[in-house]
Amino acid sequence: MAQPDEYYMKLALEEAKLACEEGEVPVGAVLVIDGHVIAKARNQREALADPTAHAELKLLSKRVAETWHRDMATLYVTKEPCVMCAGAMVNSRLKRLVYGCSDERYGAVDNAYSILKGDRLNHRVEVSSGVLARECAELLQRFFSERRGGRVVECGGLENRCGGDSTGGSNPPLSAIKPSE
């Protein structure tokens, strides 16, 4: 039996908290088919030294059936996907995307770009946004705020020492991460 979107987003938030504990940008995701959680993933760019190790790509690349098509799957992720991840969703024929908070600067679904809704591509993904948006945004905001200050990061009860520079690199500014409208 399928659960409400909030149930699966809470699972994605658990993955995001684990990512935070590991010193990763706290984004988590789960892949659901017919009400069953098929796989869970979290960002692992730092741990794997792989710029493509986003939670969404890790899920889409897992072998979960005899086909690469994800036309029966729903992907739940805590933050609006980037261009790379949105493109992978189109290419994998994902049925539905549910995300938590918006990313005004880099979001490729509803903000900076609208890749999943474009007329020029051969597939469109059904999108729901704003599920547990406040919780998702707060986790990211807390992570980046503390990281930029080089202090201890509290991630939903999990702690991680995040040194690093205050330039932010490719990290979005705190004002760009917000609950979806």
Sign of CA dihedral 111, 11, 91, 96: negative
Does residue 110 contact residue 80 with C-beta atoms inside 8 Å?
Answer: yes
Catalytic (active site) residue 154: no
What is the spatial distance between Cα 42 and Cα 28, in angstroms, rounded to a whole number?
4
Cα 152 from chain centroid (whole Å): 23
36-42 and 158-161 as β-strands: parallel, antiparallel, unpaired? unpaired
Task: List the beta bridge partners of residue 128.
Answer: 98
Q: Which of 15, 22, 46, 56 is catalytic?
A: 56
CA 119 to chain centre: 24
SS3 of residue 36 by DSSP: strand
Q: Hey, is 41 helix, strand or coil?
A: strand
Q: Report the number of secondary-structure helices (H) and strands (E) in the chain.
A: 5, 8
The answer to whether residues 102 and 132 touch, using CB atoms and an 8 Å cutoff, is no
Instruction: Give catalytic residue positions.
Output: 56
